[in-house]
Amino acid sequence: MLTAKSLSLRCSLRWFALIVCSMTLVAASFAQSLNTIHTFSGNPDGEAAAALSVDAAGNLFGASLANSVTNDMVFELSPTSGGWTFSTLYTFQGNADGQSPSTSLLMDAAGNFYGATYVGGHGLSCFQGCGTVFKLSPDGSGGWTKTTIYNFGLYPSDGNWPGGNLAMDAAGNIYGTTQFGGVYGSGTAYVLKPRSNGTWKETILHHFGGSVAAGSDPVGGVVLDAQGNVYGTLTHGGLVNATCAEGCGAVFELSQVAGKWKSTLLHVFSGSDGAFPTGAISFDKAGNLYSTTQAGGKNSAGVVFELTPKSGGGWKVHVLHTFDGNSGGLKPFAGVTFDAKGNLYGTTAFGGNFVSACNGASGCGLVYGLRPTSTGGWSFKVLHAFNGADGYMVENPLTLGPVGTLFGTTQLGGGSANSGTVFEITP
């Protein structure tokens, strides 16, 4: 049975202010407290977790991964007067049933959840299966019914090993990416459309990796704009140079032209402006795009970037923050999350506190905030640096709750089982 540690998809691996007075202002605007709301014990709740989803009532939903005792599962954390209650919604059986849930849960208007498993299913061209997309539906009696709506790898050019962000359009179609597979073996973007008979039809929108310049490895999944265009990041490909032997990665858009899907690279990274993006894209209200790269930038520790459309066509990149690789963070695998005021929040897997409890050479990881300033820049602050006892290795994005609280997960630490945590932080 695969463990969370063996299936980590992306684990490869100072306070910043412009002037002293701005440090005081940012500290006031970014007052925060962190609370660990669940510590995974390995049994019966598994270990680590994928990114979280939240409903309007503030209940959290996610997936924990198997260890030598438990199977993968989908769980709910519900707030109570005395804390949070953990409950299991579904336990995967492995193999054909799917194994290693790899996405946050997507909820539709009817209260059904959708997600993907990295491996498992009926695909025969991958070791332990090529992955699945599944649906969880309330059964009317307080339980849940799980249906596999698609098995990857059922034909040679299909994608395999799905992950990252899933998206749903107004018609109920589900969009996503696979990290590998496709015609060139470098991943696909796909859409699943429900049929009237209850089955789902897959259409591949794009096969990545047709050339190095075209980009490959869409790890972060996709988001949709109001027009139905699809956006995401590519970890490799694009520009090859001394910094990036396999290409520094890119941001892509998929749009329909005369009924066919066309791929456009909105920005190709060079290393100095970031390298190897693995996070999902976020939009602001003006249609600008935001995310991170896990490496590159001045300190080779990753950046937060913005892409803004140019008046004459094309997009311009702005590096909003460069991580220092030290107490200010290292390797932001996940993208960023907006709050209602336009502040950005995110995580780094490493950096922060360098203590033995977190494999001291890499650091424990942290939560950060970026606040727009009156001069057009951004102020950065570490909101919380993990120490091992409260978890470490923060690979997933933050989830904004209905009252402005942020929720997230650590992959490791938090207790004697070293199985990770779920935390909330109030900025």
pLDDT digits (tens, 9 = 90+) for 187-211: 999 999 999 999 999 999 999 999 9
Concatenate the DSSP letters of all residues of 11-47 into one string: -----B-SSHHHHHHHHHHT--EEEEEEE--BTTTBB
Does any domain span residue 258? no
Asked if the model's pLDDT at residue 1 lies above 50, the reply is: no
Average pLDDT over residues 102-122: 95
Determine contact, residues 414/395, Cβ cutoff 8 Å: no
Return d(Cα 107, Cα 97) in angstroms, integer: 20
Structural domain count, the chain: 1
Residue 124 confidence class, pLDDT cut points 50, 70, 90: confident
Q: What is the token pair recorded at 349?
A: 């897997």
Does any domain span residue 35? yes
Residue 290 confidence class, pLDDT cut points 50, 70, 90: very high
Q: For residues 300 and 312, which has the higher predicted lDDT (pLDDT)?
A: 300
Asked if the model's pLDDT at residue 151 lies above 60, the reply is: yes
Q: What is the pLDDT of residue 30?
A: 60
List the single range of 45-49, 163-167, 368-372 with lowest mean pLDDT. Answer: 45-49
Q: What is the pLDDT of residue 31?
A: 55
Q: Which whole-number Å values give the CA distances from 390 to 201, 364, 384, in the listed order? A: 43, 10, 10
Does any domain span residue 278? no
Q: What is the pLDDT of residue 50?
A: 86
Of 308, 280, 307, whose CA–CA distance to 294 is shortest? Answer: 280
Does any domain span residue 193? no
Task: Give the structural domain span for 67.
Answer: 1-81+342-427
Model pLDDT for residues 314-352, shown as the tens digit of each residue: 999 999 999 999 999 999 999 999 999 999 999 999 999
Average pLDDT over residues 403-426: 95
Return d(Cα 252, Cα 282) in angstroms, integer: 13
Q: What is the pLDDT of residue 70?
A: 86
Asked if the model's pLDDT at residue 12 lies above 50, the reply is: no
Q: What is the pLDDT of residue 294?
A: 98
Determine contact, residues 409/423, Cβ cutoff 8 Å: yes
Q: What is the pLDDT of residue 4?
A: 39
Model pLDDT for residues 233-277, shown as the tens digit of each residue: 999 999 999 999 999 999 999 999 998 999 999 999 999 999 999
